[in-house]
C-alpha cells in the first residue's frame, strides 16, 4: 500500500478546513504545520500544494469536468479535494505522474467511507491518468480557452468572470493589462516586513541576511528566506508583517501637509493593527496621540498586541460609524475600509471563490457611512485617507464621489504627491497600486481635505 506523506495529508487537511470551517488558508496552514511538526522542504511542499490548489481551483475543475462523464458538481466534496490536489501536482509541480496518482489514490482510500475506499481510489486513478495524458498547454487547446475573452481568461487563469470584469473596469484605458494582473494574482507573494518607527530602524531591518529592501517603501523589506515566524524581530514586535502597499498608504497619510498645530490622529478600522502600529510609531515621534477604533473585540486584541502598549495609543472597541471617540476631532484620519479584498488575491488563495457581487451591496453603504463619519471627525484643515485593498470602482471612486458630491466641506487632493518615487500612478487624483505594475497588493488611495 502506498504511503501518503505528511505534506500531502497536510495540504488535504487545509482544503478541508477551508471548505468545512471557512478557514482562512494563510491562518490555518501555519497551525497545521506546527501541529504536524512539518518544517523545511516538507512544509514548503505542503504550502505550495495547498495554496496552489486553492488558487487554481477553477482551472482544475474545468480540466476534471472534461475527464468524467457525470456533472462535476455531483462529485463528493472530499473526492474533489483529492482530485484537485492531484491536478496541481500533475500540471503545476515537478511531481512524477506515478507519485501524484498513487498518493492521490491513497488519500482517497484513507479519507471517506471505508466501505467505498476501493471504488474511490479506482475513480481517482482513472481520472488523474486522463489528466496526466496532456500537458497544461494541451489542456488549454483541448478546452478551447486560449483566447483573451473573459470566459477564456476566467477558466485558463482561474478567476471568477465577475472579478475579471471588475478589474477591466478599474484598469480603464489599460484594460488590456488584465491578463498580466491575473497572472500576478496567481504568483505567491513573498512576505513583506516593516520596521516599526521608534522600535527598529529601516537600516537595522535591511541588515538582516534573510531580506532585501522593498522597491518603494523606505521602511520595508522583503523576506526572501525563511518565514516571518522564524525571526526574533517579528516575535518581539520590533518588525511587523505588512504588504508594501499597505505601508505606503499609512506613510501617505502621515506625509500629507497639515498647516495647523496637530494633537491627535484617528484610525477608524484598525484591526488587525498593521497600519495602526505604523501610524502609532510616527505619531509618537511627533509627540501626538493615536486613537485606534475596531468594532470586533478579537480584532481589537490584535490591535493592542500590534501597538504593544504604546503610551500614545488608545484602542477603542466600537462601531466607527457612531463616533465612539465622542466629540474629539482629529488632524489625520485613516479609513481603511472593509472591502471585498480583490486586491489581495495573491495572498489569500481561497478568497476569489468566496466573494460575490452581492458583497458589494452590503459593503457600499458601510464604506460611505465610514467616510462620512471620518469627515465629521476631522478638524478643518485636516486630511483623510480613504483606503481599500480592492480596485473595484463600486468600492473606490464611486464611494468617494458620492460622499464628496453630497458635502461642501471636503476637497479631493492629488494623492500621487504623497508617494514620491512610486512610478506609473496614472493621471490621479487617486492612487491605484497593482500587483502586476508595482509588485504590491492592489491598493486604492483617495486623500480628502476638510475645508
* Tens-place pLDDT, residues 300-345: 999 999 999 999 999 999 999 999 999 999 999 999 999 999 999 9
pLDDT attached to residue 3: 66
- Say if residues 386 and 400 touch (Cβ distance below 8 Å): yes
Buried b (16+ CB within 10 A) or exposed e, 140-173: beebebeeeebeebbbbbbbeeebbebbbebbee
Give the whole-angstrom CA distance, residue 264 versus residue 258: 12
Give the whole-angstrom CA distance, residue 9 versus residue 85: 10
* pLDDT band, very low/low/confident/very high, at 1 (cuts 50, 70, 90): very low
pTM recorded for the entire structure: 0.95
Superfamily name with CATH number, domain 6-142: NusB-like (1.10.940.10)
How do residues 46-85 score in pLDDT, each as one tens digit?
Answer: 999 999 999 999 999 999 999 999 999 999 999 999 999 9
Contacts of 309 (CB under 8 A, 6+ apart): none
Domain ranges in the chain? 6-142, 150-185, 192-241, 244-450
Residue 252 phi, psi (nearest 5): -65, -45
- Catalytic residue numbers, as ranges: 389
- Give the bridge partners for 293, in sequence order: 316
Same fold for the pair 6-142 and 244-450: no
* pLDDT band, very low/low/confident/very high, at 114 (cuts 50, 70, 90): confident
Classify domain 244-450 at the CATH topology level.
Rossmann fold (3.40.50)
Exposed / middle / buried, residue 40 (Cβ in 10 Å: 0-12, 13-18, 19+): exposed
Look over the chain and give the mean of its residue pLDDT values, rounded to a whole number: 96
Mean pLDDT of 437-446: 98
pLDDT attached to residue 226: 87
DSSP secondary structure letters along 347-405: T-TTHHHH--THHHHHHHHHHHHHHHHHHHHEEEEEEEEEEES---GGGTHHHHHHHHH
Mean pLDDT of 167-195: 97
How do residues 379-409 score in pLDDT, each as one tens digit?
Answer: 999 999 999 999 999 999 999 999 999 999 9
Calculate the dihedral angle through the C-alpha atoms of 344, 348, 354, 355, rounding to the nearest 10 degrees. Answer: 0
pLDDT attached to residue 126: 97
Three-state DSSP at 212 gives: strand
Amino acid at each position: 500500500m502506498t504511503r501518503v506523506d505528511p505534506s500531502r495529508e497536510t495540504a488535504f487537511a487545509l482544503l478541508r478546513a477551508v471548505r468545512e470551517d471557512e478557514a482562512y488558508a494563510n491562518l490555518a496552514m501555519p497551525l497545521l504545520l506546527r501541529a504536524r511538526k512539518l518544517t523545511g522542504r516538507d512544509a514548503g511542499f505542503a504550502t505550495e500544494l495547498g495554496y496552489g490548489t486553492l488558487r487554481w481551483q477553477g482551472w482544475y475543475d474545468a480540466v476534471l469536468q472534461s475527464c468524467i462523464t457525470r456533472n462535476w458538481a455531483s462529485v463528493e466534496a472530499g473526492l474533489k479535494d483529492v482530485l484537485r490536489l492531484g491536478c496541481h501536482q500533475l500540471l503545476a509541480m515537478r511531481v512524477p505522474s506515478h507519485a501524484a496518482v498513487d498518493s492521490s489514490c491513497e488519500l482517497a482510500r484513507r479519507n471517506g467511507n471505508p466501505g467505498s475506499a476501493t471504488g474511490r481510489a479506482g475513480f481517482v486513478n482513472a481520472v488523474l491518468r486522463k489528466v496526466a495524458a496532456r500537458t497544461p498547454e494541451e489542456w488549454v487547446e483541448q478546452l478551447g480557452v486560449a483566447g483573451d475573452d473573459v470566459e477564456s481568461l476566467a477558466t485558463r487563469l482561474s478567476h471568477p468572470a465577475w472579478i475579471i470584469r471588475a478589474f477591466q473596469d478599474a484598469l480603464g484605458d489599460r484594460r488590456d493589462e488584465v491578463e498580466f494582473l491575473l497572472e500576478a494574482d496567481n504568483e505567491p507573494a513573498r512576505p513583506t516586513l516593516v520596521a516599526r518607527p521608534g522600535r527598529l530602524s529601516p537600516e537595522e531591518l535591511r541588515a538582516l541576511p534573510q531580506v532585501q529592501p522593498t522597491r518603494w517603501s523606505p521602511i520595508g523589506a522583503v523576506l526572501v528566506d525563511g518565514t516571518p515566524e522564524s525571526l526574533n524581530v517579528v516575535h518581539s514586535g520590533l518588525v511587523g508583517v505588512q504588504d508594501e502597499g499597505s505601508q505606503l498608504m499609512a506613510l501617505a497619510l502621515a506625509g500629507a501637509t497639515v498647516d495647523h498645530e496637530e494633537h491627535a490622529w484617528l484610525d477608524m478600522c484598525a484591526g488587525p493593527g498593521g497600519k495602526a502600529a505604523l501610524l502609532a510609531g510616527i505619531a509618537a515621534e511627533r509627540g501626538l496621540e493615536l486613537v485606534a477604533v475596531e468594532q470586533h473585540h478579537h480584532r481589537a486584541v490584535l490591535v493592542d498586541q500590534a501597538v504593544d502598549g504604546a503610551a500614545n495609543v488608545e484602542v477603542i472597541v466600537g462601531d466607527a460609524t457612531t463616533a465612539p471617540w465622542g466629540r474629539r476631532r482629529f488632524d489625520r484620519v485613516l479609513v481603511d475600509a472593509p472591502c471585498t479584498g480583490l486586491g489581495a488575491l495573491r495572498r489569500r488563495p481561497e478568497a476569489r471563490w468566496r466573494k460575490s457581487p452581492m458583497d458589494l451591496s452590503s459593503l457600499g453603504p458601510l464604506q460611505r457611512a465610514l467616510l462620512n463619519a471620518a469627515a465629521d471627525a476631522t478638524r478643518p484643515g485636516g486630511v483623510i485617507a480613504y483606503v481599500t485593498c480592492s480596485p473595484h470602482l463600486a468600492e473606490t471612486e464611486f464611494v468617494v464621489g458620492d460622499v464628496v458630491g453630497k458635502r461642501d466641506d471636503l476637497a479631493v487632493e492629488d494623492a500621487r504627491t504623497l508617494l514620491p518615487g512610486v512610478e506609473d500612478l496614472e493621471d490621479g487624483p487617486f492612487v491605484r497600486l497593482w500587483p502586476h505594475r508595482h509588485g504590491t497588493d492592489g491598493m486604492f488611495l483617495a486623500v480628502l481635505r476638510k475645508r
